[in-house]
Amino acid sequence: MTLVSPEELAELLASGTSVRVLDVRWSLAEPDGHAAFESGHIPGAVYVDLETDLSDHTVPGRGRHPLPSGDALEASLRRWGVDDGDTVVVYDDWNRAGSSRAWWVLRAAGLGDVRILDGGLGAWRALGKPVGTEVESPRLGSITLVHRNFDAGALATLTAADAAELARDGVLLDARAPERFRGEIEPIDPVAGHIPGAVNLPSTALLGPDGRFAPADDLRALFAARGVDGGNEAGAYCGSGVTAAVVVAAAEVAGIDLALFPGSWSQWSSDPANPVETGPATD
């Protein structure tokens, strides 16, 4: 199960089930969501910093958000109070980006029950559910990770060479906004454009106006329109491996396996030997 509705989360929390709720608020404009967390969060939630807890910036040449180490993630999970077998619910307040990154990393590490709060904090508030400002210090958890190298973990990943091959022989989806894909603007990375042969599928196109993921049938149609039907090799990338995780999560909802290129465009474009394509996708 990839998603949990606000109603289902409320039932889980009331049932006494061992649930850890993680607040992963992050956006391109405001990567530090700690102040937002302190101003109001789901009661009992623990703040997760995408920049430090779900990335390892000491790793060179792997893009703007390299995957964390297994040891560091295990220590963070224990600090958040997570035990083996717990249900972990992750949420955010911006286009499901932070929660999908957390979902992907935790699933790649081997956690079996990780769910994204569908609609994020906005859907929780819209249901009339409470938010709190009290910051709790959970007891130390005891989880032990199954996988410690997430490039070879429970979820499929792509190297830069894999991504190039997939763009040529399979389907490589680019999750960024269309204008960034076409190379008209590039607000973050030094080079504008996309990996040659990639197809644009903005992560926001997979969400409804309420921030919830589109129904599974609609998601399948969106993927099929880009040549992804679950029977072929396919993967996704974005700017730095964050919003592409939204596409991977949506693919799982649709029953499709999709590999992630964690380094994404920030890694690809940093190597001058890699070719760059601009303009709309070509057949």
Q: Which residues are catalytic?
A: 238
Residue 251 near residue 224, CB atoms below 8 Å: no
Of 113, 93, 90, which is closest to residue 18 (Cα–Cα)? 113
Tell me the C-alpha to C-alpha distance, in Å, between residue 209 and each of 117, 122, 134.
Answer: 15, 11, 30
> What is the C-alpha separation between 91 and 36, in angstroms, rounded?
13
